[in-house]
């Protein structure tokens, strides 16, 4: 990776994204922006993992629906790396509410609702570090160079 602010972040393709067959579309958008996939796994998130993942939302009115949705089916967890990966990934995914998400973003183009909004993307470096540790061990990251990486 070229010089610059290289960061790692977590992206989850939620059950609605997997069920709708949008994994390739979402991963493709990340890769076309120059982000590198360091690790990926398909899993079913347990209620316990969901509670740890969404701990900061506990007690909020939407918390139960978050837990119910993220545990309702398969999820693709991705460890993504790149320059300014956290804000860049958030720009690609778009605003949480798909009705206000910009056209050209994952949610603006494809999402159907606020909770079933296709993806989760860490909102800060601190959240990214905490969330990545929930889904991946350091040994699961694969180091490699992308063709053309010097341009990213």
What confidence score (pLDDT) does residue 147 get?
86
Residues acting as catalytic residues: 120
pLDDT band (50, 70, 90) for residue 152: low
Average pLDDT over residues 86-102: 97
Full-prediction pTM beyond 0.75? Answer: yes
Break the chain into its structural domains and give their ranges.
Answer: 6-144
pLDDT band (50, 70, 90) for residue 148: confident
For 6-144, CATH number? 3.30.70.141
Pick from 110, 112, 69, 73: which is nearest to 92 by CA? 110
DSSP 81-121: EEETHHHHHHHHH--SSTTTSPTTSHHHHH--SSSS-SEEE
Distance (Å, whole) CA 71 – CA 38: 24
Note the pLDDT tens digit of each residue in 9-52. Answer: 999 999 999 999 999 999 999 999 999 999 999 999 999 999 99
Distance (Å, whole) CA 49 – CA 42: 14
Pick from 67, 81, 14, 16: which is nearest to 42 by CA? 14
What confidence score (pLDDT) does residue 146 get?
87
Torsion of Cα atoms, 148 then 42 then 53 then 67, to 10°: 130
| Burial of residue 48, with CB atoms counted within 10 A of its CB: 0-12 exposed, 13-18 middle, 19 or more buried | exposed
Q: Characterize the bridge pairing of strands 6-13 and 36-43.
A: unpaired
């Amino acid at each position: 990776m070229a010089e610059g602010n290289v960061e790692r972040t977590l992206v989850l393709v939620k059950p609605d994204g997997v069920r709708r067959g949008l994994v390739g579309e979402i991963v493709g958008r990340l890769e076309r922006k120059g982000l590198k996939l360091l690790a990926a796994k398909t899993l079913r998130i347990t209620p316990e993992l969901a509670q740890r993942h969404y701990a900061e939302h506990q007690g909020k009115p939407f918390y139960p629906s978050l837990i119910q949705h993220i545990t309702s089916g398969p999820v693709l967890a991705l460890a993504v790396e790149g320059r300014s990966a956290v804000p860049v990934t958030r720009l690609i995914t778009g605003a949480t509410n798909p009705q206000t998400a910009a056209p050209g973003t994952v949610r603006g183009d494809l999402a159907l609702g606020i909770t079933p909004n296709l993806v989760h993307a860490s909102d800060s470096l601190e959240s990214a570090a905490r969330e990545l540790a929930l889904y991946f061990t350091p040994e699961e990251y694969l180091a490699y160079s992308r063709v053309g990486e010097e341009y990213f």
